[in-house]
Structure 1
Amino acid sequence: MLKAERHNYIKTKLAEEHRVSTIELALDLGISEDSIRRDLNKLHEKGALEKVYGGAIPITEKNKSVFDIVITNEDKKKKIGYKALSLLHDGQVIIMSGGTTNLVFSKLIPTMLKATIYTYSLPIAMQLSQYPNIDLIFIGGKMQKNAMVTIGIDVLQVLSKIKADICFMGVSSIDIKQGLTEEGYEVSVVKKAMIESSDKVIAMFTSDKLNTKKAHVVCDLSKLDTIVTDLDPEEIKLEEFKKSGVSII
């Protein structure tokens, strides 16, 4: 399919559904997610749509606030969040990565939880700032504007000095052989530092991330303690992950 034809398809689908997902478009058109992102970026530059995290929305529905974040598969992410609540308890030192799954999770945290939480995600920090008993530490650094997370040496220096009980990590891609991978190199480096600073690592992701991979390796499955997805733990798709020794809830 020619580029112009892809662009017309994207604009038509957007007009019909008022939101498009990078992953779904890649499947529909039989091309890579990177190609779709380039198409969306080009259409965004032309003013044909508004590029958002994970896809795009019509330009007429542009967010009034940078914190009115479009969340795809929100019901699945709530299911993940409710499962992950069982891993929280008072007194923990917690690191939370960015991503909309963790953002949804942060909104479900019990109001009276007493914990210390580090995050480099600005939206998650804003959400957690409302909790009276959470000692919130926002890790400053260079802002990656599309994902609203901080990256760079300043973030790594802070993480190197933390000893957290648990890390809740949003996952872009996970594969039996490749483990966790990320599209961006700088984010992959930050996530590696999170893992090194945490006693337990919890991978949080919707099932569409299973058996996919990106360019930059974060870690292999041996570094993970628990996987939390929207699937039932007995789902056949998770069988190989179970065999690797990781716990699944």
Structure 2
Amino acid sequence: MTFFHMTYKRNLITGLFLSSVILLGACGDGTNNSLESSENETQEVENSTEEVTQDETNQDEASTLDILNQLATLSTQTDELYVTDKITIGEQEEVTPGIYDLEIIGGSGNILGERADVSALFINWVGGAENNSGDYPSKIRIILFEGDVLEFMNISKVKFNAVPEKVEPSNELGIGEFIVGRDILPGEYKLSTKVKMNPDYDNLGWGISIYNDENGQSRDQTFTATNNDVVVNLKEGEIVSISYTNTDYGSSSDEARLLFSELN
């Protein structure tokens, strides 16, 4: 059971637990209540169980894309935040679950973290304030779930910019995590880029990791100056994590885009 469906399963288990409590309460008070009262309570439990069963049917029908689109509605814009400790994501925390363009305002360094449930969707980025000397990206698209924890190294100030609930799919993606069926349409694509990649650094350029929640696995690919004949197949609901190491210091990482040309 993968994360997105685990969330729904937890809700179902809670519902079944409450139904069990009602049933136990009815049994414990049976000696003091009339037969008619017991029958009414039993009927209430049956109705409650039917509702839970119906909920389970509806929730099983929810696709990964549906759940991620629902997550987008939870995104809450933050002010500029000084980084003084790890940041925990939660409904009652300063940063709520959602989809964000994480903006680095002060410092430059690593953005690490731990996922509460999705272990195969790694948090491992490098970023820096705009116009930083190392030309790291100052904005990174990031998907955050309840209980995730972010840790910043040598970064002093950040801001979480909420991504709108509705977005237009694009075939040009920057740095961060993007959803197939939302940010880019499903399909088979050949990769390219407009930025220059130095062949002297044959292992540097674009890194792509594609997470599939149906099987809980990821598949990885690179696109570099010497490995530039690459095709990827993107399925609805998958999360595409894109990183970029700039080898052309005359260009900006924030403006770099990985291009996806659909194959006929």
TM-score category by the smaller chain? under 0.3
Quick check: which one's helix share is greater? 1
Higher relative contact order (CA 8 A, sep 6+): 2
What TM-score, normalized to structure 1?
0.26
Which structure dedicates a bigger proportion of its chain to strand? Answer: 2
TM-score w.r.t. the length of structure 2 is 0.25
Larger Rg: 2
